[in-house]
């Protein structure tokens, strides 16, 4: 699979409001259910693969470029010694949401602790390990953007109503 995707709900190319960064192509299955949620909330997104350890220059380039282009929230998805979300938070002042992946022999505990234990001053909003966390990253991004965007707020409320009716 190509490591770059630019998608909007309408199918047209638009400025990504959410940038989803993955530490490896092997993390792709974790975001499968997250992307339709971003579509549902009307949030154009960009998915990029850039390992904080293997490709630090590429990662910095992507963060700086997408930030300049107007990206509002970064979601960083990584496993093992998952420094990706923290490094992204060091490169931008935009909100960063970290999704730990259960890819190593420690079943995600390694990634969870690497992501959640940020030093004071450089926050990463850490969600659950794996696919549930990725879905919540989309929900959290939408809730943040809903503060200043009535359309996103309406989509978030509709999603909440669906959950209350027993959806999942």
Least distance (Å) from ligand AIR to the CB of residue 25?
7
Burial 131-146 (b: 16+ CB within 10 A, else e): bebbbbbbbbbbebbb
Least distance (Å) from ligand AIR to the CB of residue 13?
27
The reply on whether position 78 binds ligand AIR by CB under 6 A is yes
Q: How many residues bind ligand AIR (CB under 6 A)?
A: 15
Least distance (Å) from ligand AIR to the CB of residue 160?
31
Among 17, 21, 23, 145, binds ligand AIR (CB under 6 A): 23
Question: 3-class DSSP state for residue 8?
Answer: coil
Task: DSSP letter for 163, please.
Answer: H
Q: Which stretch binds ligand AIR (CB under 6 A): 5-13, 23-31, 66-74, 125-133?
A: 23-31
Helix axes of 56-69 and 84-91: crossing angle, nearest 10 degrees: 50
Sign of CA dihedral 60, 54, 120, 103: positive
Nearer to ligand AIR, 42 or 104 (CB): 104
The reply on whether position 82 binds ligand AIR by CB under 6 A is yes
Site for ligand AIR, residues 37 to 56, rule: CB under 6 A: 51-54
Binding-site string for ligand AIR from residue 87 to residue 106, where x marks contact by CB under 6 A and - marks none: --------------x-x---
Nearer to ligand AIR, 17 or 83 (CB): 83
Least distance (Å) from ligand AIR to the CB of residue 65?
20
Yes or no: say if 45 and 35 are a contact pair by the CB < 8 Å rule.
Answer: yes
Sheet holding 96-101, edge to edge: 4-7, 45-49, 18-22, 73-79, 96-101, 125-126
Residue 128 to residues 83, 111, 125, 133: CA-CA distances in angstroms?
Answer: 16, 11, 10, 4
Q: Which of 24, 130, 123 is nearest to 74 (CA)?
A: 123
Contacts with ligand AIR by CB under 6 A lie at 23-24, 26-27, 51-54, 78-82, 101, 103
């Amino acid at each position: 699979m190509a490591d770059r995707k630019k998608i909007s709900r309408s199918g047209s190319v638009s400025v990504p409001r959410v940038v989803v960064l993955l530490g490896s192509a092997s993390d792709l299955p974790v975001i499968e259910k997250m992307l339709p949620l971003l579509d549902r909330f009307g949030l154009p997104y960009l998915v990029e693969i850039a390992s904080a350890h293997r490709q630090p220059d590429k990662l910095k380039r992507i963060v700086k470029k997408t930030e300049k282009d107007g990206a509002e929230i970064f979601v960083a998805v990584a496993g093992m010694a998952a420094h990706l979300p923290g490094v992204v938070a060091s490169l931008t002042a935009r909100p960063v949401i970290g999704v730990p992946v259960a890819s190593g022999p420690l079943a995600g505990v390694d990634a969870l602790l690497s992501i959640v234990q940020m030093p004071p001053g450089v926050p990463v909003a850490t969600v659950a390990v794996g696919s549930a966390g990725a879905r919540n990253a989309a929900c959290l991004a939408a809730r943040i953007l809903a503060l200043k965007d009535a359309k996103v707020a309406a989509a978030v409320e509709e999603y909440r109503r669906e959950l209350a009716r027993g959806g999942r």
